[in-house]
Amino acid sequence: MPEQQTPTASQSSNDEFIDFLLSDQKTPEHTLKQQAQAVKAARHAATGRQQASFRPAAKPAIVFDRVTKVYQAQPGKPALNKVTLQIAFGEFVFLVGHSGSGKSTFIRLLNRELTSTRGTILVGGENLSTIKKWRIPYLRRNVGCVFQDFKLLPKKTAFENVAFALQVIGKSKAVIRNQVPEVLRLVGLGDKQHKRPDQLSGGEQQRVSIARAIVNRPPMLICDEPTGDLDPQTSLGIMKLLERINHTGTTVVVATHDKQMVNAMRKRVITLEGGYLVRDEAEGEYSLNA
């Protein structure tokens, strides 16, 4: 079945994403060494090597401890309410719930786009309430993000879109020439590297955005409704790709309300309802009414 055509991302959301990537360039020189060590430690933790050799109890990838998020516009109605959970390195987790249940808020807290109102969030052991400003770009390097609307640069090819994520963190041309075709092959786009978003189907555009999110090999990948605009067959292909990435050791968190998909995948399912965590099941099902 051919993949559905969908419009490419709007310029404004692209601008936000570029700011997000470029925030990396504001890092002062003297902190680079410390940061490199932090990235290395996160890598070790991601592959489990460090825990296996040094630590009997593995450090979780993500900890939420009684996390509450209240938006100013809705002071009486927390978007997340005392959410407590842990996600281990290497897990694949679905975050499900109706529209407005708090899924995107959860995702945006994880990459420190938002801060919690109360409670503690740890990502790779780093406390996001007390994280130093200079470390936030490094957090973001370790947490790849995929969105429903792809956020691709419309005038750039698949290759250039993925290369851009490496350019902004100062990777050399040689690294870019080597890693970009490799990651595009991994997501199944080896033969479409020189196509622009408007020459690609929705599913292919989402594959480019996944390639961009993982090209720097982050230990975590978080996805907010990654198949929200795709037909069921294309969605399944994207989920299988995310599963394959998870099998390489990457922790994957997918917010979705795609019931059929969640039930087909047999993964851990965390259910939010009105900002409350109401269910957390290994190999769970999407059990809210559609």
Residues that bind Mg ion (CB under 5 A): 103-104
Do 129 and 120 meet the contact criterion of CB atoms below 8 Å apart? yes
Nearest by Cα to 42 from 121, 143, 124, 122: 124
Residue 234 contacts ligand ADP per CB under 6 A: no
Eight-state DSSP code of residue 30: G
Tell me the closest approach of the beta carbon of residue 67 to Mg ion, in angstroms.
Answer: 17
Residue 104 contacts ligand ADP per CB under 6 A: yes
Residue 252 contacts ligand ADP per CB under 6 A: no
Report the residue from 8, 27, 81, 101 that binds ligand ADP according to the rule CB under 6 A.
Answer: 101
Residue ranges in the chain assigned as alpha helix (H) = 11-22, 32-47, 49-54, 103-110, 136-142, 158-167, 173-186, 202-214, 232-247, 259-265
Cα 208 to Cα 104, 150, 152, 214: the distances in Å are: 21, 8, 8, 10
Residue 111 contacts ligand ADP per CB under 6 A: no
Residue 99 contacts ligand ADP per CB under 6 A: yes
Eight-state DSSP code of residue 145: E
Do 223 and 242 meet the contact criterion of CB atoms below 8 Å apart? yes
Residue 74 contacts ligand ADP per CB under 6 A: yes
Residue 100 contacts ligand ADP per CB under 6 A: yes
Residue 161 contacts ligand ADP per CB under 6 A: no
Nearer to Mg ion among residue 103 and residue 207 (C-beta): 103
Tell me the closest approach of the beta carbon of residue 103 to Mg ion, in angstroms.
Answer: 5
Residues found near ligand ADP in the complex (CB under 6 A)? 71, 73-74, 79, 97, 99-105
